[in-house]
Structure 1
Amino acid sequence: MSNSFTIKLVNFLWFQTIWWLVVLYQSTFLVVGLLLAWLIYSPLRKSDSKIMIAVLLLGTSVDSLLMLTGVFGFEPGAWLSGGASHWIIPIWLVCLWAALGGSIQHSLSAFADKPLLAMAAGAVFAPLSYFGGQKFGAVTFGYSPLVTVGILAIVWGVVFPACFLLAKKLTADDGQNSA
């Protein structure tokens, strides 16, 4: 088993663990620990940290906009503070975006130079992920399932390939660009 394969496998398992923690428990503190652990373990620490921050900012903006427009929402207890009105997604979902960024150069690297494949994968698998989250009570939908799938497919058909474009731009000068 090659080192590259091992890194990709560990990264895949790391991301899946984070997904389950946020969806089932809306866990924040353990997830932050896992994010930091990845930055210690990653062979591409510098570029991973840049990408994680960029994807976190992109995803938080996109999901906050989707939340504010009523595509999906969260129970009042989803935030660390108890207020009823929020303009940004819960921190556990922000952390999930960082984790997605940490997977761009590793377990998701097969999509790096294939924008049409990334577009199709984003349009298909992201809505499934949100629906999984909805089934476990992590998120609620404001529209019918068909409308929600349509919106999420369009948004993620753009956002997922954009993550790889961001990664490429951010790592162009690092000499470690594997995205």
Structure 2
Amino acid sequence: MNYKKLANFILFIAGWWMALLYGNAMALIALFVVLMLHFILWRDVRDIFVILGFIFCGFAVEWAFMASGVQDYRSNLPPAWAICIWAMLATTMRYSLSWLINKPLWAALVGLLVAPAFYINSVQFGPAGWGRPMWECLLAIALVWSLLAAFLSGVLVPLVEQMEPADGGVS
């Protein structure tokens, strides 16, 4: 892994912890910093489409988790900190997690195994709670993220990869 990809992953993890531990205001600041540094490092406007796709998917998934009782955010809408995490995750898809592009089975396995750990942390360290028994929530999260990761890896990101860069090349 090269240094830019490592920095990309570290920025996501740092932003994720900031959002989780300090709430909406810090999540927005962390997102701003992550996005600014991301576009300084990569300078590819196609990433905007991945980020927007993740924001829309994230809002829908988090809302569905709330509606079904998987997550309890104690609000009527998904919190800004959770959506910021989705946007920050999007910055990794074409870079530090690029090894998953066009490999939906591997992406599904990663989603199945890794996503529940992130949600456990959001309950353990953050303002989220379980709306149902923990095992039901983790099973739902694992299954949804498995399918979602396969879709993002096999459809959304490859579509963006096929787009022509606005500047004629990717740096």
Q: Distance in 1 between matches of 2:102 and 2:44?
A: 21
Equivalenced residue count is 164
Question: Are 1:34 and 2:33 counterparts?
Answer: yes
Q: Which amino acid counterpart does residue 60 of structure 1 have in structure 2? A: F
TM-score, L = length of structure 1: 0.84
Map of 1:14 onto structure 2: 11
Aligned-pair identity (%) = 25
Residue 10 of structure 1, CA deviation: 0.7
Q: Distance in 1 between matches of 2:41 and 2:98?
A: 14
Map of 1:146 onto structure 2: 135
**Kept after mapping to 2: 8 A contact 1:18/1:99:** yes
**Kept after mapping to 1: 8 A contact 2:108/2:147:** yes
Residue 36 of structure 1, CA deviation: 3.1
Q: Which amino acid counterpart does residue 92 of structure 2 have in structure 1? A: S
**Kept after mapping to 1: 8 A contact 2:31/2:87:** no
Q: 1:52 to 1:14 in 2, by over 3 A?
A: same
Residue 97 of structure 1, CA deviation: 0.7
**Kept after mapping to 1: 8 A contact 2:111/2:142:** yes
Q: Which amino acid counterpart does residue 145 of structure 1 have in structure 2? A: M
TM-score, L = length of structure 2: 0.88
Map of 1:79 onto structure 2: none
Cα RMSD of the aligned pairs, angstroms, is 1.8
Question: Are 1:94 and 2:70 counterparts?
Answer: no
Structure 1, unpaired ranges of 5+? 76-84
Map of 2:63 onto structure 1: 64
Q: Which amino acid counterpart does residue 58 of structure 2 have in structure 1? A: G
